[in-house]
Structure 1
C-alpha cells in the first residue's frame, strides 16, 4: 500500500515508521524543513519500547509530493487541515483519507476535498514525542480504532487493519467509531488543557483530588453534548481511559502542554471549544469546558503578547 502521511510531527512520524516497518510504501509530508532534511539524510530515528530503530523513509514538503497514494494519513493539527489538503488537492486522486486527528468534526472538514465515501475516521491512544529533527519516540501501547466516515463496509478496512497489526499497532475496525472519537475527545478535553494549565502530567492530575474532580466535570459535560448530537458515547469508557492514563502515563506531557511550553497555537477549538459551541447549539450547559477554553486562549494570548512586546 502506498501511504502518504500528511503532517509528520511526533504522531505522524511514529505511525509512518510503524507502517513502513510493516512493509508499506510510506512518504512523510511536512512543512518542517529541518525534520524533512534530517529524515532524508539520516533516516527516521524512532525510540520504541522494544528498542530504537532507524527507518529509511522518504520525506518531503507537501509541494514536492507527486503521488499517487492509496491512502493519505492525516495527522496535521486540526487548524491546519484545510491548508494541508489544499496543498495536495490536485494529487489526492482516488486515495482514501484517514483522519486520526484530535477533536470532533474532522470528516466534515475533509469532505471539502475528498468524496465522503473515501473518508476514514478514527482515534488513536498512542503516545508520541517529537525529540528533534529526524528523531521521535513512542513509549506505551499503540492502539487505533477506525471506520468509514459514512458507515459503509469496504475492503480497505481489513487491508488497513492487517497493515497496522503488522506494524505492532492494535487495530480495531469499529463501526461505532463516532462514539469512540467523542470518547477520546472527552478524555482529551479533560487531560490536555488541565495538564497545560497546571504544568502537570496524567499522573499528577490523577494523584490530585482537585485534578480528578475537574477532569470529571469536563467529561460529564462533553458526554452530555455528544448525546445531544445523537452520539452514544460512554462515560464509563472515558473513565477507563482516564484511569489508564493516571496509572500508566505518569510523566507523559500531553500535546497541549507541549504547545503551551513552545508558545504554539493549541487545538482547544477542536476540543473544549467544540464542546462549548455544540453545547450552545443544543442547549446543554458546559460551564467547566467554557472556563477551561477561556483559560487556554488566555495562555495563548499571553504568549503572543509577550513575544510582541519583548524588549
Structure 2
C-alpha cells in the first residue's frame, strides 16, 4: 500500500469523533464510522457535533468486500472484544490498525487477533476532547505517537512512512519516537496516577498543581509503575516521575481527566486497564503495588455507588 485513502473509525466517543472530524475536514480520506444496533441508528439520525459543526459520517457496511487502508480504534478498554468483532470485516492483508486506547494491554490483544505486522504501538497525548451526548469539544488536537518496538522497526518501516505521510497531509500532529514502548508506558504511568486519583478525589488538575499531599499520592503511585517497568524492561526510570509532574504542571488548571469525566457522568471507568493491570502484572512479577491495590478497590466501590 502506497497511501491511505479509506479510514474506518471504531469508537466514536470524544477521541474517535474528534479524529474523524480532523480527517474528514482535510478532504484527503474517506472516513467511515463503525457501529451496530442502537448506536448505528442514533449516529444515522443525530450525527455528531464536533466543535459546533454537525457531521454525518458514513457508516461502514459490514457486508462489503472492501477493506480499509486504516482502522483507528478509540473505544474504552472494556469494549475492546466487541470492537474486534465489529472491525473484522474491514481488516485486509494491508490494513494498518492504529489503537488509541489507554493502557498497555490493547496492542498485544489486537496482535493476537490480526498479526503483529498490522498493529504498531500507538497513543494520543495532549488532546483535550470532552463529550456530552453527541456533542464533542476540543481546543487542542494533541499528538498521535506510533511506532514498532526496536526489533520490528525495519520490517514495519514502510507502514510507518505511509501512516506518517497520511497524518501529515491531513494536518494531524504526530511523532514517531525512538522508543515507542517506553512512551506508551509513560502515558500508562500518567493514566494510572493522574486519572485514577483525579476520579477518586473528584479533582481537576488544579488540585495536583497546588496540593503537596495530592502530588505525594501521584509520586508514590507513579513509583509503582516505574518499579514494574524495571521488572519488564520497558524503559521507565525514576527520572520519568519528575518529567511527568513537569508535564502536569503545564496543563490547564481547569482540565479534567477522562476518568473524572466518566465518574461525574456515572459511567463505567477504565480501572481494570489501569489499577487492575497494575495489580495483575505486579503479582506476576512478584512485587507489591499497595497504592494501586487500594485504588482498584476504591474506584470499583465508587462505580458500585452509582446505583445507590
Work out whether the TM-score is over 0.5.
Answer: yes
Q: Which residue of structure 2 lines up, in the alignment, with residue 10 of structure 1? A: 14
CA contact (8 A) 1:9 1:30 kept: no
Q: Structure 2, unaligned stretches of length 5 or more?
A: none
Aligned equivalents of 1:5 and 1:76: distance in 2?
10
Query: Closer, same or farther in 2 for the Cα pair 1:252/1:218, shift >3 Å?
Result: same
CA contact (8 A) 1:2 1:71 kept: yes
Pairing 1:46-61 to 2, within 5 Å after superposition = 46-47=50-51, 54=53, 56=55, 58-60=57-59
1:153: how far off?
A: 2.9
Q: Which moved more, 1:143-152 or 1:254-263?
A: 143-152
Query: Closer, same or farther in 2 for the Cα pair 1:291/1:75, shift >3 Å?
Result: same
User: SS state of the match for residue 181, structure 1?
Assistant: helix
Q: Which residue of structure 2 lines up, in the alignment, with residue 309 of structure 1? A: none
Aligned mate of 2:304, from 283, 301, 306: 301
1:90: how far off?
A: 3.4
1:55: how far off?
A: 6.6
- Work out the number of aligned pairs and report it: 295
Query: Closer, same or farther in 2 for the Cα pair 1:12/1:119, shift >3 Å?
Result: same
Aligned equivalents of 2:278 and 2:83: distance in 1?
24
Aligned equivalents of 1:214 and 1:271: distance in 2?
16
Aligned equivalents of 1:65 and 1:19: distance in 2?
22
**CA deviation string 1:63-112 (max 9, x = no partner):** 57764200110111111111111123233222221111100111221124
Q: Which residue of structure 2 lines up, in the alignment, with residue 28 of structure 1? A: 33
Query: Closer, same or farther in 2 for the Cα pair 1:61/1:235, shift >3 Å?
Result: farther
Aligned equivalents of 1:238 and 1:64: distance in 2?
48
**CA deviation string 1:13-50 (max 9, x = no partner):** 111111222322111224534345322xxxx4322xxx
Q: Name the TM-score, length of structure 1 as normaliser.
A: 0.87
Find out whether 1:74 has 2:77 as its counterpart.
no
Find out whether 1:120 has 2:120 as its counterpart.
yes
Aligned equivalents of 1:93 and 1:217: distance in 2?
44
**CA deviation string 1:259-279 (max 9, x = no partner):** 112222111111121111111
CA contact (8 A) 2:8 2:60 kept: no
CA contact (8 A) 1:26 1:57 kept: no
Aligned equivalents of 2:237 and 2:31: distance in 1?
35
Q: Which residue of structure 2 lines up, in the alignment, with residue 130 of structure 1? A: 131
CA contact (8 A) 1:89 1:113 kept: no
CA contact (8 A) 1:6 1:62 kept: no
Aligned mate of 1:248, from 246, 251, 264: 251
Aligned equivalents of 1:7 and 1:225: distance in 2?
30
Aligned equivalents of 1:235 and 1:138: distance in 2?
32
CA contact (8 A) 2:190 2:222 kept: yes
Pairing 1:242-281 to 2, within 5 Å after superposition = 242-281=245-284
Query: Closer, same or farther in 2 for the Cα pair 1:247/1:172, shift >3 Å?
Result: closer
Q: Which residue of structure 2 lines up, in the alignment, with residue 100 of structure 1? A: 100
Q: Name the TM-score, length of structure 2 as normaliser.
A: 0.87
Q: Which residue of structure 1 lines up, in the alignment, with residue 172 of structure 2? A: 169
Q: Which residue of structure 2 lines up, in the alignment, with residue 286 of structure 1? A: 289
Q: Which residue of structure 1 lines up, in the alignment, with residue 85 of structure 2? A: 86
1:244: how far off?
A: 2.6
